[in-house]
Amino acid sequence: MLMNKRLTLFFLLTAAVSVGADELFTFTVKTSAPTNRQLEWRVRQPARYTPESRIMVLFGGRNWDGAKAINTYRFNRLADQYGIFLISPSFKNDDYWEPEKWSGAAMLEALKQVRQKFGLKNDTKLFYYGYSAGGQCANLFYHWKPEIVEAWTAHACGVWFKPETAAVACPALITCGENDEGRFLLSSKFVRDAREKDYPVIWRSYTGEHELNAGSLKLAEIFFEDIAAGRRTAVYAGDDQTMNYYPVGSRNGADIEQEYRNNFFSLKLAESWKTGNPD
């Protein structure tokens, strides 16, 4: 009875879903969107957390359930190590990748409720990760409110915001399959345009088509780990043309043109980018 009262008090937490050894809690947010009147959110609580703990919003592929996104991306080790809450919406249609319409307000309400329940600070910045339609969310939600985002990643995305001079530029990682129809061309064009406007973007393509690539997921995990660990200064620079990397203070590192330049916060990130290896 006490448990039920607590669940009711804290944001209508209605169920627990088992994914491996982890429990995902479910709650709903009311929205004005016809197909998403009661928008379901899934939450994975890390093993340990503090009021300063971050939240990573995981945007799944088109119309994915939030549990599928959390289970598929497998950022659990990262989340437990750095006390990160993983949350994911079960968006369905209604142009949910356009945050200014309704989904952005729904996310802000979900974040408010999660922070209240777990006693988290309201001003910690977010991580975004998204695949396919979720990649659209990751970049469009960042562009909608860049001041609340610490870092974001998009894989196999074909819809992008138009880069302007960034008022609040944060690190981004963009990946795509080389045979992924037009998405590869659109993604690589966005990278060039964003770098021209001084966005700090890492770019990596992989063999394959539209599938979620294991190497890209590993690269994203290391990318977020660097940010979570406080590594924000570039120590290596990678060249898209040669797929080699060099210390930023070296002549080779300094000679990489902005259009092809990747800045890495650790040797581990640079090596993962170079090899593309998921191990």
Q: How many domains does the chain have?
A: 2
Domain boundary among 196, 214, 232: 232
pLDDT < 70 stretches in the chain: 1-22, 166-167
Whether 258 and 150 share a structural domain? no
Provide the pLDDT for residue 121.
97
Residues 161 and 264 in one domain: no
143 and 61 both lie in a single domain:
yes
Q: Read off the amino acid at residue 93.
A: N
Q: Which of 114, 109, 11 is closest to 54 using CA atoms? A: 114
167-200 per-residue burial string, b: 16 or more CB within 10 A, e: under 16: eebbbbbbbbbeebeebbebbbebbebbbeeebb
In a shared domain, residues 74 and 129:
yes
Residues 220, 256: one domain? no
> Which phi-psi region, left, alpha or beta, contains residue 261 (left: φ > 0; alpha: ψ -120 to 50)?
beta
pLDDT at 22: 66
Pair of tokens at residue 237: 């620079």
Convert the pLDDT of each residue in 116-169 to its tens digit.
Answer: 999 999 999 999 999 999 999 999 999 999 999 999 999 999 999 999 876 678
Of the residues 217, 232, 247, which one is the last residue of a structural domain?
232
Per the rule left: phi > 0, alpha: psi between -120 and 50, beta: everything else, 31 is beta
Instruction: Return the SS3 of 187.
Output: helix
Contact 174, 199 (CB under 8 A): no
Residue 267 and residue 179 share a domain? no
Residue 151 and residue 238 in one domain: no
Q: What is the DSSP string of 265-276?
A: SSHHHHHHHHH-
Contact between 253 and 237 (Cβ < 8 Å) = yes
Choosing from 198, 214, 232, the residue where a domain stops is 232
Residues 163 and 265 occupy one common structural domain: no
pLDDT number for residue 25? 92
- Identify the pLDDT of residue 168: 78
Instruction: Report pLDDT for 19.
Output: 36
CATH number at residue 154: 3.40.50.1820
Same-domain status, 205 and 222: yes
Whether residues 161 and 206 fall in one domain: yes
Instruction: Domain of residue 251: give its range.
Output: 233-279
The residue among 134, 54, 60 whose CA lies nearest residue 99 is 134
pLDDT at 36: 97
Do 40 and 128 sit in the same domain of this protein? yes
Strands (E), the chain: 15-19, 22-30, 38-44, 55-59, 85-89, 126-131, 149-155, 172-177, 201-206, 236-239, 244-247, 261-264
**In this predicted structure, what is the pLDDT of residue 166?**
67
Do 164 and 228 lie in a common domain?
yes
